[in-house]
Amino acid sequence: MRLYDSPTAPSPRRVRIFAAEKGIALDRVEVDLRSGEHLREPFLSINPAGAIPVLETDDGARLTESSAICRYLEASHPEPSLFGTSAIDIGRIEQWVRRVEGEGYGAAVYFFRNSVKAFAGRGLVGAAPSVPQLPELVERGQVMWDAFMAELDTHLADREWIATDRYSYADITALVAVDFGVRARLAVPDDAANVARWHAAASARPSAGA
């Protein structure tokens, strides 16, 4: 399997961590985002949306979107399960993945894409039409981030991992979101001790460096 990837982008990192936890070897093809390689041919023939990651399976099929790719990898390599095995665990993992994506990662995207000068006119990801940066979304991103950090810290007060009693795709999603937020200059609050503890444990897993 081939993964179109970039070492600096958060979405493909989610796939790399997931694959590492599964012990799946992926043939990585690096796409140079800084030069805009993802916005021109031949990459647009691979993904017309101009976004990474893209997984090319052994039979030539292509999948985009990190969660869709990880779902495919889970179905083709069921052990160890990262999406849960019982009905309630599957539901809880999905619940927290959606919350992390919408509230934590979403906050970081708002803040990052609307505050970095290099993204002027590119408020949306990939080959989307030109969209101006909106300063109001920087403020909204900060408010969302602060609320997410407070909620996650409270949630983690009496638990090791986010969704179940085992490390799961929810933890992978949150690790990537938190690290991306910090890169975007959104800090983990000093009083978020539970988030800090969880983050240290997730970051210590060998897969975190994938």
pLDDT digit string (tens) for 90-122? 999 999 999 999 999 999 999 999 998 888 888
Model confidence, pTM: 0.96
Q: At a CB cut-off of 8 Å and minimum separation 6, what does 92 contact? A: 84, 163, 164, 170
Tell me the CATH number of domain 87-209, given options 1.10.10.10, 1.20.1050.10, 3.30.930.10, 3.40.1080.10: 1.20.1050.10
Distance CA 67, CA 85 (A): 17
Asked if 89 and 164 touch (Cβ cutoff 8 Å), the reply is: yes
Note the pLDDT tens digit of each residue in 54-94. Answer: 999 999 999 999 999 999 999 999 999 999 999 999 999 99
Domain boundaries, the chain: 2-76, 87-209
Note the pLDDT tens digit of each residue in 131-181. Answer: 899 999 999 999 999 999 999 999 999 999 999 999 999 999 999 999 999
Tell me the CATH number of domain 2-76, given options 3.40.30.10, 3.50.50.60, 3.30.450.20, 3.40.640.10: 3.40.30.10
Distance CA 115, CA 133 (A): 7
Q: At a CB cut-off of 8 Å and minimum separation 6, what does 210 contact? A: 13, 16, 17, 19, 20
Cβ atoms within 10 Å of 138's Cβ, excluding its own: 16
Cβ atoms within 10 Å of 147's Cβ, excluding its own: 13
Asked if 124 and 194 touch (Cβ cutoff 8 Å), the reply is: no
Distance CA 36, CA 31 (A): 9
